[in-house]
Amino acid sequence: MSPLEASGTKVGLRERKKQQTRETIARAALKLFAERGYDETTLAEIAQAADVAPRTIFAYFESKEDILLCEEGHFLNELRRRLEERPAGTTTVDAIRAFLAAMKQPDEEARLRKQIITSNPGLQMRMRGRHAEIEPMLAESIAKDLGSSPGDIRPRLIAASMTAAFEAASNRILEAESGDDPLSHEQAMAILDEVLNFLRGGLEAMQGN
């Protein structure tokens, strides 16, 4: 399912064709990255494998990195939307739980993408850089939960704790998935639920002060 379809947006023929081209390029790139290595693969080779002109790639992606990490952009945009549009009376933690519950189980492409990233230290650093966008996003949402004034440091502290907790949980899940007895999707979600319950208690305690 494409990001547009997943968000419930009605997709016209033109947009469907554009999305199909985008997905074709991404799949071709992923296959080449897995076979030849990320650093060794060129944009010209990706264009040839996807049967498009090299300039067509730049109509959909800014760079080779953008092709590989395109799902991260969708992830961040959807999380931002969930936080900004959460119903009255729900907290940041509630919005995150709803967001995680709506995520589909990782498919073979998602697992392959993760393997490519984890095998390349440079890509791991770039991934962490993208994830750094999450903390200020959470801080803004938590400030609304707490009714904070501009100088209140609590939202930033809680957001930093949330980010660190999810990073630790993600690392735990990733280590298990790369082992001999990988976690199921349900087991991974159970770990994240434990983290969310812990964070919910801390946020509720702050709201009570």
Nearest-10 crossing angle of helices 134-146, 70-84: 10
Q: Residues 41, 29: contact at Cβ < 8 Å?
A: yes
User: What does the radius of gyration of the chain's CA atoms come to, in whole angstroms?
Assistant: 19
Q: Residues 169, 198: contact at Cβ < 8 Å?
A: no
Dihedral (Cα; 88, 90, 92, 95), 10-degree rounding: -100
List own/partner pairs for 160-163 with CB under 8 A and 24 or more apart: 160/135, 161/199, 161/202, 162/135, 162/138, 162/199, 163/131, 163/134, 163/135, 163/138
What pLDDT score was predicted for residue 7?
A: 46
Local confidence pLDDT in tens for the 209 residues of the chain: 445 444 444 558 888 888 899 999 999 999 999 999 999 999 999 999 999 999 999 999 999 999 998 888 888 899 999 999 998 888 898 888 888 878 777 778 888 888 898 888 898 888 888 888 889 999 999 999 888 888 889 899 888 888 887 777 666 666 665 555 666 667 777 777 887 887 777 777 776 56
* DSSP 8-state symbol, 38: T
pTM to 2 decimal places: 0.70
Dist CA 163 CA 111 (whole Å): 22
Dist CA 151 CA 48 (whole Å): 53
What pLDDT score was predicted for residue 185?
A: 67
Dist CA 114 CA 69 (whole Å): 10
Q: Residues 114, 174: contact at Cβ < 8 Å?
A: yes
Mapped onto helix, strand or coil, the DSSP state of residue 153 is coil
- Delineate the domains of the chain, giving CATH numbers in brackets: 3-63 (1.10.10.60), 69-207 (1.10.357.10)
What pLDDT score was predicted for residue 182?
A: 64
